[in-house]
Structure 1
Amino acid sequence: MKVRKFITLVDDVYTEGGRPVASPVRVAVAAIVIENPWAGMGFVEDLTQGISSTASDAGKLLAATVTEALGRPVEAFGKAAIVGLNGEIEHGSALIHTLLFGNHFRHAVSGSTLLPAVEKRGSAGTVFDIPLKHINDVTIRSHHQSFEVRISDAPHPDEILLALAASSAGRPQQRLAPLSSEQ
């Protein structure tokens, strides 16, 4: 895995809707910008080699960094892959939609659900929203949220930006009734 850049973001919300939040909600994002393991190869039918050489190392590094940056128990999580313009969306999907990547985060936070994801192709500075859901129960509405990210100089055309996001709580000031109330 050839790393060009590593980014960590932390966002604390103290006020939402004009009212103080009972307990500040923190969202952390860890992102890594790597060389696309399939760059310059043309169409690659079998992506296994790039997955095995990259996904686990990236997932392990990002999981450790995002949980440390959050500094609190993780209640919601998500992931992202933004592929540079010379790559395919499938290249990003291949790296984040494997247990080699996601299990590092699930194990670190004792999560049991699949991580919600965004993947897209874009140029440097592409804005993307990482979806987040509760780590163990995707029906908990308060934790359905997203976090907007933009890395001004990534990804370059032959790079992939991989990211994990973690939240210490659901949306600040959430007031929706439980899903069970509508069933």
Structure 2
Amino acid sequence: MIEIREVFTHVETIFHEYGPPAATPLVRGAIMAVLTNPFAGRYEPDLLPMMDALKPVGLDMARRLLAAMQVDASAIESYGKGAIVGAAGELEHGAVWHVPGGYAMRELLEGQGVPTHAIVISAKKVGAPSTRLDVPLGHVNASYVRSHFDAMEVSVPGAPASDEVVFVLAMTTGARVHARVGGLAVSQIVGKDGLR
């Protein structure tokens, strides 16, 4: 059921956003795995076996991403996930990533002492090869932390083919550079319900 054609990793370091250099540069990373879509071209009523099969893929991707970012797990402050389904598939084929993608990052981070009570927000679409996706990002422990509302644009050149799916994980080390629009601050997080 799992056939990976390519894994594509993207890491960026942001020093400023038209203002003074940040005291600590922001590191943002995304990892994208291009897989054959076993449901392409047909309707499959039971997608749950694919979700289970993707769990080790998600955990491997999360580990690879953290290693590529060259930071400690304790530095990760936001995360997100997404999927781009090739044209012979349907949107629900990207939705199978919700559990294995989100829980992979949470398992990795919690295993290293980082609390992750907030949901891992997501985006998905059906698209042609090289389709770009804005992966939403939110704070790992409290969804209401406004400084961490962000998105990371990703794509894999030439993917997905019509019978493929691109699954995406994204993580960052902090807020938007120069975030200054108020709201719940990281220092105010209670960390009980994933919201505040």
Residue equivalent to 1:61: 60
Residue equivalent to 1:91: 93
Quote the offset at 1:37 in angstroms.
Answer: 2.3
CA distance in 2, matches of 1:90, 1:101: 14
Quote the offset at 1:58 in angstroms.
Answer: 1.9
Q: Stretches of 4+ moved more than 4 A in 1?
A: none
Mind listing any 5+ residue stretches in structure 2 that lack a counterpart?
111-115, 186-196
CA RMSD of aligned residues (A): 1.4
CA distance in 1, matches of 2:146, 2:38: 37
Count of equivalent residues: 176
Residue equivalent to 1:174: 179
Residue equivalent to 1:79: 81
Q: Normalising by the residue count of structure 2, what TM-score does the alignment of the two structures yield? A: 0.85
**Given residue 117 of structure 2, which amino acid in structure 1 is its aligned partner?**
S
Quote the offset at 1:179 in angstroms.
Answer: 4.4
Residue equivalent to 1:25: 26
Which of the numbers 140, 145, 162 marks the counterpart of 2:145?
140
CA gap of 1:101–1:14, structure 2 versus 1, over 3 A, is closer
Deviates most, 141-150 or 63-72: 63-72
Q: Normalising by the residue count of structure 1, what TM-score does the alignment of the two structures yield? A: 0.91
- DSSP 3-state at the match of 2:106: helix
CA distance in 2, matches of 1:137, 1:51: 26
Map residues 123-134 of structure 1 onto 2, 5 A cutoff.
123-134=128-139
For the pair 1:9 / 2:10, whether they are aligned, the reply is: yes
Map residues 35-54 of structure 1 onto 2, 5 A cutoff.
35-40=36-41, 42-53=42-53
CA distance in 2, matches of 1:97, 1:11: 25
Mind listing any 5+ residue stretches in structure 1 that lack a counterpart?
none
